[in-house]
Amino acid sequence: MDLVSTGSKSREAPRPLVSAEKATLPGDAGLLHAELTFFYYPGDVCFPVPSPKMYVQVSPVRVNVDVPSIVWLTAFLPHVAAAVASTSTDDSSTYMDVRSEVIMPKIVLEAGPEHISQQRDRPKELHVCTARVTFTNVRESARANTAGTRADLASIIAALRRLTPRGHFPCADDDMDPIHQQFVLHADSLDDIDRGNTVTPELLWRENRSIWCARAEPLWIDFSGARATNYKPSPLLDATPLTAWLCFEDGFNRIWMIGRTCGLAGLQINHYQLLFLLRQLEKLSELAAWLSHQAGRMPEDPGTIVVGMVVPAVEMTLVLPTSCPGQETSSRDLDSVPLDSSSLQDLKMGSESTMAPSMMDRDSGVLATHSIEVCTAQPLPAEELAPPSPGLGFSSFSSMRRGLTSLVTSIDSALTRDEGRSDAASTASSDSERYVVVGLAAESPLDADMAFREFEHGRTCNSGVEMAAEVVERSSSPSDHSITSSCKRRDLISTCTWRLNNIFLVQQSVPGKTSLRLTADDLNSDECSSMPWDEFQSKFSMRARAWNEPVASEDDVKPRDSTKIAARLVRIEQPRELNDKGEPSGLAAFEELLEAQIKDLSMSLNMSTALALSEFIEDEVIAPPVPLEVLISNLKLHLIEDRPTRSISSPPPQPLDLDLTTLRLTRDMKGIVHLGPPQVEPPKPQNPPELKEAKKEIERLNKENEELRKRLATMDRISEDNRELRAVAEEVSVLRHCARAAQQEAANLLADKQELLESLRLMMEQNMSTTSRGKR
Listed residue (676, 361, 314) closest to 500, CA to CA: 314
Listed residue (492, 490, 499, 495) closest to 528, CA to CA: 495
Q: Which has the minimum average pLDDT: 169-183, 475-489, 571-585, 757-771?
A: 475-489
Res. 148 pLDDT band, cuts 50 70 90: confident
Determine the Cα–Cα distance for residues 406 and 659; give it in Å rounded to an integer. 34
Please compute the mean of the pLDDT values over residues 369-385 and round it to a whole number: 38
- The total of other beta-carbon atoms located within 10 Å of residue 76's CB is 10
Full DSSP string of 329-349: ---SS-SS--SBGGGT-SS--
How many angstroms separate the Cα of 541 from the Cα of each of 497, 498, 536, 579? 14, 16, 9, 55
Res. 1 pLDDT band, cuts 50 70 90: low
CB contact at 8 A, 481 and 491: no
Q: Which has the minimum average pLDDT: 167-171, 237-241, 490-494, 526-530?
A: 490-494
Q: What are phi and psi of 163, to 5 degrees?
A: -90, -10
Condensed to tens digits (0 to 9), the pLDDT of residues 581-596 reads: 777 777 778 889 999 9
Q: Sign of the C-alpha dihedral, residues 610, 615, 616, 619?
A: positive
Residues 6 or more apart from 338 whose CB is under 8 A from it? 321, 322, 324, 344, 394, 395
| Alpha carbon 565 to its chain's center | 14
Check whether the bond before 682 is cis (ω within 30° of 0): no
Determine the Cα–Cα distance for residues 117 and 346; give it in Å rounded to an integer. 9
Determine the Cα–Cα distance for residues 263 and 218; give it in Å rounded to an integer. 11
Determine the Cα–Cα distance for residues 233 and 562; give it in Å rounded to an integer. 40
Return the CA Rg of the chain: 44
Listed residue (108, 104, 94) closest to 31, CA to CA: 104
pTM, 2 dp: 0.66
Condensed to tens digits (0 to 9), the pLDDT of residues 531-553 reads: 898 889 888 988 888 787 776 66
Listed residue (200, 207, 216, 61) closest to 134, CA to CA: 216
pLDDT at 266 over 70: yes
Q: Strands, DSSP E only, in 4-160?
A: 18-20, 32-37, 53-58, 61-64, 97-103, 106-110, 125-130, 132-136
At residue 220, the pLDDT reads 94
Domain boundaries, the chain: 15-87+94-321+493-547+560-575+589-676, 346-382+391-418+430-470+481-487
At residue 552, the pLDDT reads 64
Res. 75 pLDDT band, cuts 50 70 90: confident
393 sits in which H/E element? none
Q: Sign of the C-alpha dihedral, residues 669, 671, 676, 677?
A: positive
Q: Sign of the C-alpha dihedral, residues 534, 540, 545, 551?
A: positive
Higher pLDDT, 664 or 679: 664
**Burial (CB count <10 Å: 0-12, 13-18, 19+), residue 97:** middle
Beta bridge pairs of residue 373: 353, 435
Listed residue (153, 135, 147, 133) closest to 216, CA to CA: 133
Rounded to 5°, angle at Cα 233 from 231 and 239: 180
Res. 577 pLDDT band, cuts 50 70 90: confident
Q: Sign of the C-alpha dihedral, residues 702, 703, 706, 712?
A: negative
Res. 684 pLDDT band, cuts 50 70 90: low
CB contact at 8 A, 136 and 213: yes
At residue 10, the pLDDT reads 56
Res. 214 pLDDT band, cuts 50 70 90: very high
CB burial readout 350-382, b (16+ within 10 A) else e? bbbbeebbbebbeebebeeebbbbbbbbbeeee
State whether residue 211 is helix, strand or coil.
strand
How many angstroms separate the Cα of 4 from the Cα of each of 11, 71, 112, 124, 616? 12, 10, 16, 21, 36
Higher pLDDT, 76 or 634: 634
Q: In the chain, pLDDT over 70 holds for what percent of residues? A: 73
CB contact at 8 A, 116 and 212: no
Q: What are phi and psi of 298, to 5 degrees?
A: -75, 145
Condensed to tens digits (0 to 9), the pLDDT of residues 216-243 reads: 988 999 999 988 888 889 999 999 999 9
Res. 192 pLDDT band, cuts 50 70 90: confident
Res. 561 pLDDT band, cuts 50 70 90: low
Rounded to 5°, angle at Cα 521 from 516 and 522: 115
505 sits in which H/E element? strand 492-510
At residue 775, the pLDDT reads 66
Phi-psi region of 561 (alpha: psi -120 to 50; beta: other; left: phi over 0): alpha
CB contact at 8 A, 303 and 499: no
Q: Sign of the C-alpha dihedral, residues 407, 409, 412, 413?
A: negative
Determine the Cα–Cα distance for residues 615 and 391; give it in Å rounded to an integer. 9
**Burial (CB count <10 Å: 0-12, 13-18, 19+), residue 601:** middle
Please compute the mean of the pLDDT values over residues 713-737 and round it to a whole number: 92
How many angstroms separate the Cα of 427 from the Cα of each of 362, 363, 366, 369, 434? 14, 12, 11, 18, 12
DSSP state of 28: T
Strand arrangement of the beta sheet that strand 350-354 belongs to: 350-354, 372-376, 435-438
Condensed to tens digits (0 to 9), the pLDDT of residues 334-359 reads: 333 333 333 333 333 333 333 333 33
Listed residue (225, 73, 259) closest to 155, CA to CA: 259
CB contact at 8 A, 2 and 14: yes
Please compute the mean of the pLDDT values over residues 66-95 and round it to a whole number: 77
Listed residue (284, 281, 494, 274) closest to 391, CA to CA: 274
Q: Which has the minimum average pLDDT: 15-29, 237-251, 274-288, 683-697?
A: 683-697
Listed residue (411, 354, 330, 348) closest to 385, CA to CA: 348
498 sits in which H/E element? strand 492-510
Higher pLDDT, 628 or 475: 628
Listed residue (164, 162, 153) closest to 211, CA to CA: 153
Condensed to tens digits (0 to 9), the pLDDT of residues 404-460 reads: 445 445 444 444 444 444 343 333 333 333 333 433 333 444 443 443 343 333 433
